[in-house]
Amino acid sequence: MYTYRSEAPQSDAIVVFGVTGDLVHKEIFPAIYGLFRDEGVSVPVIGVARSDWTQEQLTARARESVEARGMRIDEQVFARLAQNLHYVRGDYGAPETYEKMCDVLEGTGSPLFYMAIPPSVFPVVTESLAASGCSLNSRVLVEKPFGRDLRSAIELNTTLRKHYPEDAIFRIDHFLGKEPVQNITYTRFANPLLEPIWNREHVRSIQITMAENFGVKERGSFYEEAGAIRDVIQNHLLQLLAVVTMDPPGGGIPDAYRDEKARLLMAVRPLEPKNLVRGQYVGYRQADGVAQDSTVETFAAMKLTIDNWRWAGVPVYIRSGKQMAVTCTEVFIELRRPPRETFGEKVDTSSGHVRIRISPDIVIALGLRVKVPGDRMVGRDAELLVTSTPTNVQPTYQRLLSDAMDGVQELFAREDGVEASWRIVEPILGDRVPVEWYEPGSWGPPSARRLIGKDGPWIDPVVVPVTPPDDCVPPLAGVRRREPRG
């Protein structure tokens, strides 16, 4: 992966549309504070929203947000942030809102516009920004979902591209900014042990599991609109699949990393209903905001096929669900057994494997057979294990916001990759496959076990709490630190 910076200068202001919303409280304010504290950022931060707030309320909200994240506040740093914090109240379609914003932006030349707003509002904001004259030399940062289907994704991209070139658009899928996900890329391409076996000749199957042991909580209304496929599979897990299976980027060409990810996603066949299982946990319909006759999936399992030379014939299984047995995200690469079992043993197909855990801890494990002590030549399965807890890594949103200000795009989704992901799931969106009940605390409907069939079984993650020593440093990809900005 190469660090490529656009020719445009660093962003010298941050404008957050939807600044009073939940996302800003949970993620964006802590990220901005981290930039001021760790990277010497000192730029105007302008919040825009419809809420009848005062400057003092916005400052108090920012402090509350940082404290709620468990971050110790350095009063000198926060005072600097507060001095740069501004609030603009107004309707997103009103010209006077943008006149006030432009007044605050006076003296800046390269603002970053963060769209922490619903996609339905994007056209209004982008058109109004263009009319205001404040968007010259700017970048725009948008949150998922990037549409609800292929058609709406294309329409959204058309709206953005009307006023911004692709290298000025930053689509956040925060999964891509996670340290463990970046570590997959590094581990794959930095170790000569893995790359020679990372293909159809040596890999029998691939499984990706994203399980959560809790329900939709207060997000019932959102989940009724999204469901598991739109919420995490079309974006997070297909992006993760691309990272796991892409070819190595080469040549130092700008955007080579995203070129390879997009190429991989374009090689994945669109899903067929016969290769999908949808489930809904018992009790989902009692959650606030959920219809009593809801058919939205809280679980989905699917079989995917990659039509390229490296992965031809290797089945890929993805599953994700709420109210599962554990909370864990894990990739399991099952290696092919030798053509003959030399010692006449009956060995499980999953004996030889590579296991990569994204959360709650970071794990890279290599499955091997080792001899049981004694006179007989019999063995048992064992794992060579590297494990750590991500205690000293740069927070995901801080990393992504910093990259967007610098014009570094590797960790952001690109237009062709987004549309390729929608093409994969488009044939199975909606109720084309009926939902089945499953009990909370289980691994989904029984049909999911039948779906994987002879390629299985599913490898159910086992989560064991690990408490590292105080001086433990994860033996994985290091934290990226930058010099303070001038």
User: What's residue 400's pLDDT?
Assistant: 93
What is the helix, strand, coil percentage profile of the chain, to 5?
35, 20, 40
User: What's residue 478's pLDDT?
Assistant: 34
407-436: pLDDT as tens digits: 999 899 999 999 999 999 999 999 999 999
What CATH architecture does domain 13-143 belong to? 3-Layer(aba) Sandwich (3.40)
Q: 13-143 with 176-395+421-455: one CATH topology?
A: no
Fold category of 176-395+421-455 in CATH: Dihydrodipicolinate Reductase; domain 2 (3.30.360)
| The 362-371 sheet, strands edge to edge | 379-388, 362-371, 353-359, 328-335, 203-211, 315-321, 299-305, 276-281, 435-438
Report, as ranges of residue numbers, the positions in the chain whose pLDDT lies below 50: 1-5, 468-484, 486
Domain limits, the chain: 13-143, 176-395+421-455
User: What's residue 474's pLDDT?
Assistant: 37
User: What's residue 294's pLDDT?
Assistant: 95
Of 25, 163, 174, 236, catalytic: 236
- Coil vs helix vs strand at 106: coil
Check if 353 is active-site: no
User: What's residue 479's pLDDT?
Assistant: 34
377-402: pLDDT as tens digits: 988 888 888 876 656 667 889 999 99
The distance in angstroms from the start CA to the end CA of the chain is 26
Q: At what angle do helices 150-163 and 122-132 cross, to 10 degrees?
A: 10
Residues 218, 220, 225, 226: is their CA dihedral positive or negative? positive
CB 404 within 8 A of CB 410: no
